[in-house]
Amino acid sequence: MEKSTSKTEFHNVDEYIAMFPENIQDKLKELRELIREIAPETEEIISYKMPTFRLNGILLHFAAYKNHIGFYPTPSGIAEFKDELSSYKHAKGSVQFPIDEPLPINLIRKMVAFRVKENNAKTN
């Protein structure tokens, strides 16, 4: 799938978000702030050409596409919320949130919290 952008050179999450039209930027900013709210101790990096959040390893990624926001909470994050994700197109480690619908904030909140707990357990 192609990302909806003409500029492909970026070095951080701010530059990544700035590449997209305003309506997509708004969704990406909302998603980023939600992740930061739940997991303020995460480190933001670019990995696989996507915004990536690390906390004791990779926590999750997200990316913007023409018709959806890709959210990548790893296979365990998808498996844990499989029933709640049934109305979204999803695969082993990813889910697609349509651009023309509001982000499912409560579901994303639960998924991020699950991944934080899971990754924090790695250090115990």
Beta-ladder partners of 71: 62, 95
Domain ranges in the chain?
13-118
At residue 122, the pLDDT reads 82
Tens digits of residue pLDDT in 45-104 = 999 999 999 999 999 999 999 999 999 999 999 999 999 999 999 999 999 999 999 999
Give the Cα separation of 54 and 72 in Å (integer): 13
3-class secondary structure, 62: strand
Nearest CA to 36 among 27, 44, 45, 25? Answer: 44
3-class secondary structure, 45: strand
Q: Answer yes or no: are the C-beta atoms of 71 and 27 closer than 8 Å.
A: no
Cβ-based burial of 36 (10 A; exposed 0-12, middle 13-18, buried ≥19): middle
pTM of the model: 0.90
Tens digits of residue pLDDT in 40-61 = 999 999 999 999 999 999 999 9
Q: Which fold would CATH assign to domain 13-118?
A: Aspartate Aminotransferase, domain 1 (3.90.1150)
3-state helix vs strand vs coil in the chain, percent to 5: 40, 20, 40
- Residue 71 has phi, psi (to 5 degrees) of -125, 125
